[in-house]
C-alpha cells in the first residue's frame, strides 16, 4: 500500500492526521453559522473544503483498516487502526454543523446557488444530505438521541456482538467458534453436517432468552425513534436510505413469494435425490453434492478466465479491469494467511488513488467467481468515482450490480468451457444454491422481520412466538422438500442484520433480482449497444436513482413483470438441471 503510506511508521500519517484536524477546525471557523448567507463562490469553496477533508479522511481510514484486516494478530496494526479511528472521530466533530446547516438552506437559496454550475456539480451530494430533512428533529432533541444512543440501541447491539462472539459449539468433542462451525455444514460427511446443524440450533436455543430480550429492545428502540421522526412504517426509513419506493419493494416481495414453490420445490427435490434422501434437512440446503469433483484452479488460470469473460462482454470493461493486475504494484491481496480476516471485499478510495481488493483465494471454483465479483466492484468504483468524490455514494441496492453481473458473465464462460455433463450439473447446482440464498431467502428474512416489527407494536414477543414466525417463513420459502422443525427453528439470532441494520436484508434480493433481469435483457440481445449503456449506468449509480438508470433497458421495477423476468433466470437454470439429471441418471452416471 505504498501509494498511500510507505509503512505504518511513515511520518506522513501523523502529519495527515494533524492536517485533518486543522481542516475540520478551519471549516467551522470559516463557515459555521454562515452557510445560508454565503455567495455562490464562497459556498463552492466550503464544498471543496469538505471534499478535501473527505479525501484525506478516507486515505487515512482505508490505510489503517487494510493494514489491520490483513494481519489481525499484529497488535501494532490493531492499535494503529484504533488510534486513527478515535482521532478522526474526535477531529471531525467541529464539522457536524455543515450537514445541519445544509439541511436548513431554503429551496430558493439553493436554486440560486445552483445557478453557479460549479456548485450545481455537487447537487447529488447536497440532495443526499437533505433527503432526511423532513424526518430530522430540532437540534436539541437530536443531541439527546445521539447521547442516549450509547446506552440504548448501540448498547443492545454491543451486547449482541459480545455475547455472540463468546458462544462456542461442540461437535465430536471438539470446540468451534461460529465461523468454524458453519464450515462443517460444507463437509461431505452427512453425519458431521447433521451434528453441526443440530449444535447450531441447540446453542441458539440455550441462549434464546437473552437474544429474545435484546431483539425486543432493538425493535422497540427503533419504533420510538421512528415515531418521533414521523416514519410511516418500520421499513420506511430504510427505503428512504436505499431510495427505494414502497411500491417497488412490494412488487419484489410478492413476485419472490409467488415463485417460492416453482423454484424451491423443484430445486430441493433434485437436491434431495442427489443426497439420497426423500427430504433434506434445513442444514443441508447448501451441502456439497456427493459426486462433485472439487477441481482446483491456479491463480493465473483464474485471472485469465475472469479477464477473458470481461473482454468478451466489453473491451472497455476489460481495460478498466487490467490495471488491477499491474506487475509493478499489487492491488489484490490474494491468499489466506494466519491472522488475515476471512471473506473477500473491494475497498474504494478517492479518485487519485486506486481501489484495493482483498481475497482469500485457495483455487476453488467459487474462488474464481469471487475474484470476478470483487473485480466487478473494483471496476464499478473506478467508473463511478468520476462523478466526484462527494457525489459518489452508491446505495446498497446498486452497489452489487457490477459485481453480481461480472460473476454472472464469468459463470457463463466457465460453464461453456465445461465438456462433462456431471461437472456442468455441479456448477449450475451451486449457482442455483447461491441464487436461492440471495433472491428467495433474504425475502423470507424480510418477511420475518416485518412481522416481528409489526407484532412488537402490541408488546414484547416471546421466544416461542419469534420461533413460530421464523419457522413459518422458512418453511414457506423452502417448500415441501426441506424439513424445518425443532432442530432448526431456534437459529434466527444468527442473522446479525436483524440486530445491526433492521430491514437491510431485502437489499440483497433487490440487487440480485435486478441484475438477473438486466442479464436477461442482455441475453435477449434486443438492446443495441448493451455493454456501453451498461457501463454508462455503472458510472452514474451514485448520482441517479435506480429507476431512471434502468430506463435505457426498458425496465420498470414497480412492475412485477420486471422481477419475474429476473426470477425466471433461476427457473431456467433449474430446467437445465432437470434435463442434465435425467440424462446422467439414464446413463447410470449418478443415482
Ligand atoms: Zn459484493
Q: What is the DSSP string of 38-70?
A: --HHHHHHHHHHHHHHHHHHHHHHHHHHHHHHT
- Cα of 151 vs centre of ligand 1, distance in Å, is 32
26: containing domain: 11-130
- Cα of 163 vs centre of ligand 1, distance in Å, is 27
Number of domains within the chain: 1
Q: Are 28 and 38 in contact (CB under 8 A)?
A: no
- Cα of 305 vs centre of ligand 1, distance in Å, is 19
Residues 6+ apart with CB under 8 A from 118: 44
Residues 6+ apart with CB under 8 A from 15: none
- Cα of 404 vs centre of ligand 1, distance in Å, is 7
Q: Is the pLDDT of residue 139 over 80?
A: no
Q: Is the pLDDT of residue 117 over 80?
A: yes
Q: Residue 506 burial by CB count (10 A; 0-12/13-18/19+): exposed, middle or buried?
A: buried
Question: Which value, to the nearest 10 degrees, does the dihedral of the CA atoms of residues 48, 49, 51, 57 take?
Answer: 160
In a domain, 230, yes or no: no
From the centroid of its chain, how far is CA 197?
Answer: 25
Which CATH number is 36's domain given? Answer: 1.20.140.70
Planar angle of CA 355, 356, 359, nearest 5 degrees? 145
pLDDT tens digits along 278-299: 999 999 999 999 998 878 999 9
- Cα of 370 vs centre of ligand 1, distance in Å, is 9
- Cα of 409 vs centre of ligand 1, distance in Å, is 15
Distances (CA, A) of 461 to 222, 469, 489, 495: 15, 10, 16, 18
Residue among 436, 415, 577, 581 at smallest CA distance from 516: 436
Residues 6+ apart with CB under 8 A from 204: 211, 490, 491, 492, 493, 494
Q: What does the pLDDT read at residue 162?
A: 86
- Cα of 438 vs centre of ligand 1, distance in Å, is 12
In a domain, 125, yes or no: yes
Round to whole Å and give the CA distance between 370 and 70.
Answer: 18
Number of neighbours of residue 501 by Cβ within 10 angstroms: 14
- Cα of 32 vs centre of ligand 1, distance in Å, is 38
- Cα of 202 vs centre of ligand 1, distance in Å, is 31
Helix 506-524 and helix 560-586: axis angle, to 10°? 80
- Cα of 242 vs centre of ligand 1, distance in Å, is 16
- Cα of 591 vs centre of ligand 1, distance in Å, is 36
In a domain, 61, yes or no: yes
Q: Are 567 and 513 in contact (CB under 8 A)?
A: yes
- Cα of 221 vs centre of ligand 1, distance in Å, is 30
- Cα of 372 vs centre of ligand 1, distance in Å, is 10
Round to whole Å and give the CA distance between 560 and 557.
Answer: 7
Round to whole Å and give the CA distance between 219 and 211.
Answer: 12
pLDDT tens digits along 401-444: 999 999 999 999 999 999 999 999 999 999 999 999 999 999 99
- Cα of 392 vs centre of ligand 1, distance in Å, is 17
Q: What does the pLDDT read at residue 182?
A: 87
Where do we find the cell 457501463? 535
From the centroid of its chain, how far is CA 187?
Answer: 26
- Cα of 373 vs centre of ligand 1, distance in Å, is 6
Return the C-alpha cell found at 276: 439420497
Return the C-alpha cell found at 52: 478535501
Select the more confidently predicted residue: 226 or 93: 226
Q: What does the pLDDT read at residue 569?
A: 95
Query: Stretch 320-331: mean pLDDT, rounded?
Result: 93
In a domain, 584, yes or no: no
- Cα of 371 vs centre of ligand 1, distance in Å, is 10
Highest mean pLDDT among 132-136, 215-219, 510-514, 586-590: 215-219
Q: What does the pLDDT read at residue 165?
A: 83
**Three-class SS of residue 356?**
strand
Select the more confidently predicted residue: 15 or 78: 15
Q: What does the pLDDT read at residue 341?
A: 85
- Cα of 510 vs centre of ligand 1, distance in Å, is 13
- Cα of 41 vs centre of ligand 1, distance in Å, is 39
- Cα of 128 vs centre of ligand 1, distance in Å, is 23
pLDDT tens digits along 59-85: 999 999 999 999 988 999 999 999 999
Residue among 198, 211, 177, 185 at smallest CA distance from 284: 185
- Cα of 375 vs centre of ligand 1, distance in Å, is 10
Round to whole Å and give the CA distance between 344 and 325.
Answer: 17
In a domain, 305, yes or no: no
- Cα of 430 vs centre of ligand 1, distance in Å, is 17
Q: Is the pLDDT of residue 154 over 90?
A: no
Residue among 354, 395, 382 at smallest CA distance from 62: 354
Alpha helices in 115-152 (DSSP H): 117-120, 123-130, 139-149
Q: Is the pLDDT of residue 194 over 90?
A: yes
- Cα of 407 vs centre of ligand 1, distance in Å, is 10
Round to whole Å and give the CA distance between 498 and 215.
Answer: 8
- Cα of 133 vs centre of ligand 1, distance in Å, is 30
- Cα of 400 vs centre of ligand 1, distance in Å, is 5
- Mean pLDDT across the chain, nearest whole number? 94
Query: Stretch 189-218: mean pLDDT, rounded?
Result: 97
- Cα of 3 vs centre of ligand 1, distance in Å, is 25
Residue-wise burial string across 256-292, b where 16 or more C-beta atoms lie within 10 A, e elsewhere: beebbeebbbbbbbbbbbbbeeeebbbbbbebbbeeb
Phi–psi pair at 8, nearest 5 degrees = -60, -15
- Cα of 360 vs centre of ligand 1, distance in Å, is 14
- Cα of 418 vs centre of ligand 1, distance in Å, is 26
- Cα of 59 vs centre of ligand 1, distance in Å, is 21
Residues 6+ apart with CB under 8 A from 112: 40
- Cα of 376 vs centre of ligand 1, distance in Å, is 8
HSE-up of residue 116 (Cα within 13 Å, Cβ side): 16
Select the more confidently predicted residue: 181 or 212: 212
Query: Stretch 227-251: mean pLDDT, rounded?
Result: 93
- Cα of 377 vs centre of ligand 1, distance in Å, is 7
In a domain, 70, yes or no: yes
In a domain, 95, yes or no: yes
- Cα of 112 vs centre of ligand 1, distance in Å, is 40
Q: What does the pLDDT read at residue 137?
A: 87
Number of neighbours of residue 4 by Cβ within 10 angstroms: 20
Q: What does the pLDDT read at residue 499?
A: 96
Query: Stretch 332-356: mean pLDDT, rounded?
Result: 92
Q: What is the DSSP letter of 329?
A: S
Return the C-alpha cell found at 523: 441475453
Query: Stretch 327-332: mean pLDDT, rounded?
Result: 90
In a domain, 518, yes or no: no
The pTM assigned to this predicted structure is 0.90
- Cα of 367 vs centre of ligand 1, distance in Å, is 13
- Cα of 351 vs centre of ligand 1, distance in Å, is 20
- Residues of the chain above pLDDT 70, percent: 100
Q: What does the pLDDT read at residue 394?
A: 86
Q: What does the pLDDT read at residue 279?
A: 97
Q: What does the pLDDT read at residue 435?
A: 95
- Cα of 399 vs centre of ligand 1, distance in Å, is 7
Round to whole Å and give the CA distance between 333 and 24.
Answer: 33
- Cα of 505 vs centre of ligand 1, distance in Å, is 14
Distances (CA, A) of 62 to 18, 81, 312, 329, 572: 17, 9, 33, 17, 41
Alpha helices in 131-189 (DSSP H): 139-149, 153-166, 178-184
- Cα of 161 vs centre of ligand 1, distance in Å, is 23
Q: What does the pLDDT read at residue 101?
A: 93
Amino acid at each position: 500500500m505504498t501509494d498511500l503510506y510507505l509503512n505504518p511508521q511513515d511520518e506522513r500519517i501523523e502529519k495527515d492526521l494533524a492536517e485533518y484536524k486543522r481542516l475540520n477546525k478551519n471549516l467551522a471557523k470559516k463557515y459555521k453559522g454562515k452557510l445560508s448567507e454565503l455567495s455562490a463562490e464562497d459556498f463552492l469553496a466550503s464544498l471543496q473544503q469538505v471534499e478535501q477533508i473527505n479525501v484525506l479522511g478516507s486515505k487515512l481510514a482505508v490505510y489503517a483498516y487494510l493494514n489491520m484486516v490483513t494481519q489481525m494478530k499484529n497488535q501494532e496494526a490493531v492499535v494503529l487502526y484504533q488510534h486513527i479511528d478515535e482521532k478522526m472521530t474526535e477531529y471531525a466533530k467541529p464539522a457536524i454543523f455543515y450537514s445541519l446547516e445544509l439541511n436548513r438552506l431554503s429551496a430558493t437559496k439553493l436554486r440560486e446557488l445552483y445557478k453557479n454550475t460549479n456548485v450545481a456539480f455537487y447537487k447529488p451530494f447536497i440532495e443526499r444530505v437533505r433527503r432526511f430533512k423532513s424526518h430530522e428533529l430540532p437540534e436539541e432533541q437530536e443531541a439527546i438521541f445521539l447521547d442516549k444512543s450509547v446506552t440504548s440501541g448501540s448498547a443492545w447491539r454491543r451486547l449482541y456482538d459480545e455475547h455472540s462472539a463468546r458462544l462456542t459449539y461442540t461437535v465430536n468433542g471438539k470446540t468451534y467458534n461460529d465461523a468454524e462451525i458453519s464450515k462443517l455444514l460444507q463437509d461431505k460427511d452427512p453425519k458431521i453436517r447433521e451434528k453441526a446443524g443440530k449444535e447450531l440450533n441447540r446453542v441458539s436455543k440455550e441462549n434464546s432468552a437473552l437474544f429474545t430480550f435484546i431483539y425486543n429492545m432493538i425493535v422497540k428502540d427503533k419504533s420510538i425513534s421512528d415515531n418521533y421522526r414521523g416514519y410511516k412504517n418500520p421499513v420506511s426509513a430504510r427505503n428512504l436510505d436505499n431510495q427505494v419506493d414502497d411500491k417497488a419493494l412490494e412488487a419484489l416481495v410478492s413476485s419472490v413469494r409467488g415463485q417460492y414453490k416453482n423454484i424451491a420445490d423443484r430445486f430441493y427435490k433434485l437436491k434431495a435425490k442427489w443426497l439420497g434422501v426423500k427430504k433434506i434437512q434445513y442444514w443441508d440446503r447448501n451441502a456439497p453434492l456427493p459426486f462433485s469433483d472439487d477441481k482446483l484452479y491456479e491463480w493465473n488460470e483464474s485471472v485469465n478466465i475472469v479477464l477473458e469473460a470481461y473482454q468478451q462482454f466489453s473491451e472497455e470493461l476489460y481495460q478498466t479491469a487490467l490495471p488491477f493486475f499491474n506487475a509493478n504494484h499489487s492491488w489484490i491481496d490474494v491468499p489466506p494467511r494466519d491472522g488475515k480476516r476471512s471473506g473477500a471485499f473491494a475497498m474504494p478510495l478517492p479518485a487519485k488513488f486506486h481501489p484495493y481488493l482483498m481475497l482469500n483465494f485457495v483455487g476453488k471454483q467459487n474462488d474464481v467467481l469471487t475474484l470476478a465479483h470483487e473485480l466487478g466492484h473494483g471496476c464499478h468504483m473506478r467508473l463511478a468515482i468520476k462523478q466526484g468524490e462527494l457525489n459518489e455514494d452508491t446505495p446498497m441496492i446498486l452497489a452489487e450490480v457490477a459485481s453480481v453481473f461480472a460473476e454472472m458473465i464469468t459463470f457463463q464462460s466457465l460453464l461453456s468451457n465445461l465438456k462433462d455433463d456431471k461437472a456442468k450439473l455441479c456448477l449450475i447446482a451451486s449457482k442455483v444454491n447461491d441464487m436461492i440464498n440471495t433472491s428467495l431467502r433474504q425475502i423470507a428474512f424480510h418477511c420475518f422481520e416485518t412481522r416481528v416489527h409489526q407484532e412488537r407494536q402490541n408488546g414484547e414477543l416471546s421466544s416461542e412466538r419469534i420461533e413460530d414466525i421464523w419457522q413459518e417463513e422458512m418453511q414457506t420459502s423452502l417448500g415441501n422438500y426441506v424439513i424445518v422443525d425443532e432442530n432448526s427453528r431456534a437459529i434466527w439470532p444468527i442473522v446479525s442484520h436483524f440486530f445491526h441494520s433492521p430491514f437491510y436484508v431485502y437489499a440483497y434480493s433487490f440487487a440480485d433480482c435486478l441484475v438477473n433481469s438486466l442479464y436477461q435483457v442482455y441475453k435477449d440481445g434486443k438492446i443495441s449497444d448493451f455493454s456501453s449503456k451498461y457501463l454508462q449506468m455503472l458510472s452514474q449509480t451514485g448520482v441517479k436513482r435506480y429507476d431512471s438508470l434502468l430506463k435505457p433497458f426498458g425496465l420498470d421495477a414497480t412492475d412485477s413483470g420486471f422481477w419475474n423476468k429476473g426470477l425466471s433466470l433461476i427457473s431456467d437454470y433449474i430446467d437445465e438441471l432437470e434435463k442434465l439429471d435425467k440424462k446422467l441418471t439414464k446413463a447410470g452416471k449418478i443415482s
